[in-house]
Structure 1
């Protein structure tokens, strides 16, 4: 069995590739390198450069490596950009997925694992988000993820593919410094960038109905994300009738103010106190995952805590910004 991992040279993708190969799963990577880096890949892993929008490339790669399972991580994921460029996001995320599913079905691929997001839930008014919490995305990025789940489920049912959609919560950290997050669009790297520059961290709203007034989120180490993919891939291989939709989180809420405090403690960069700005449109007060279903279905739970996430993210930041 060979797994095709799309977007495998990116931040999350490279961690999944590493975990899959360490687990003894043969993999090949397809990445257009628009945000990924070839040097992230484990030695010996084959990289095919191309996009999931290119059916000719997909047909060639699926045939050449006798691919029997797909882990689809490639896609655009910046929420603000999705609001500015909705048509681009629908084309990249949904049309790319449609083309990939068509190629996979024709090639007889029996397993399809989809990288989804907690953004499908929008602004849930619950203490813990379960997989039964109603989905109501509030931006085009979340919409493309939810529609992607529907598309995967429909194709799986029609073409006999075992399928799973993994809804990531707030990803942070790195397995090794070399695999750290290059972007500054998530909270941890955004705060690291400002502290390292001697600037005050930014807090978007401190008047939410939470204990300290700042948003509460469920942060999950990217290495935990990767091991969840291994567990899901193995479940799909063992159960041809699987139709899974699972949250990946820690089930523990951490506020923005608390996370900034941990980052300052780990880095020693106390500097100026956080600067409070207006709320960002669409930011829910609290989004924290329930981990009950993934624990029951895959016998998986998160291992890494918030401080370990920050320590590993800081090591990666120092490597890229000496």
Structure 2
């Protein structure tokens, strides 16, 4: 990731999940919800902390409970969003993904057993999910302390994923066991957007361990880095990518107006190779929570002025995400 750069190199039962992320809290394994604080909240940013609620019935899947002391999209630390080195704990929903070759990419935790990422980072392991391991709470990859590492049990690619054009580049990883969430582990889940939600015009945060420059081959870099990038409309992005020095007449073969969004365009501020799957997190000032607007998928080099990074548009795939998680939850 550059700060200087954070862009992946361009190469050619509904009730269960709805209640796993709702306005009151998130579903966690029974017995793992931390009690509400009795004095100073765990963060000075208001996050709507309520008394712990456990509702019998179908609000959460079997073996889980609704925990309102851990709203999705909230941090346990008061962290700066300044470009550069990410403060420790600033991105508690990020998953560090490895496979049989080592570090491969990034994902974002949706609930205690599901991670969202880009398909091109995990498509070769669909038949061998146990080779994929996800670590949570990672800050410095060279010092993996206080980290939870869990093996994948299933990888579900979008049925229309195209590995050549990176269209529909989205996947859900199901974990073999649940992640322990809460302030004691420093791990939380991100909030999902609503279907069709637009983030154009917002400046949003992306973090990761990708290369510091195009072709640097230094990923995973340490420690975690972050950068804020503005989301632009499709026409602005297409006009840039249609330049002869970029995609030219092939722009419509690779740039998807329905399933992708673009962000960046400022020199030295971008995602970069090996940041693939990292979530583009937009802050909602009303709820004071972070929402997953996109996932790093591809770009042309890294951090060039007037050239945008391309992200999977998560709002475009909300219904598909829901259907996968429902099926995986049984």
Shorter-normalised TM range = under 0.3
Q: Scaled by the length of structure 1, what TM-score is found?
A: 0.27
Q: Which has the higher contact order (CA 8 A, sep 6+)?
A: 2
Indicate the structure with greater helix content.
1
Q: Scaled by the length of structure 2, what TM-score is found?
A: 0.27
Indicate the structure with greater strand content.
2
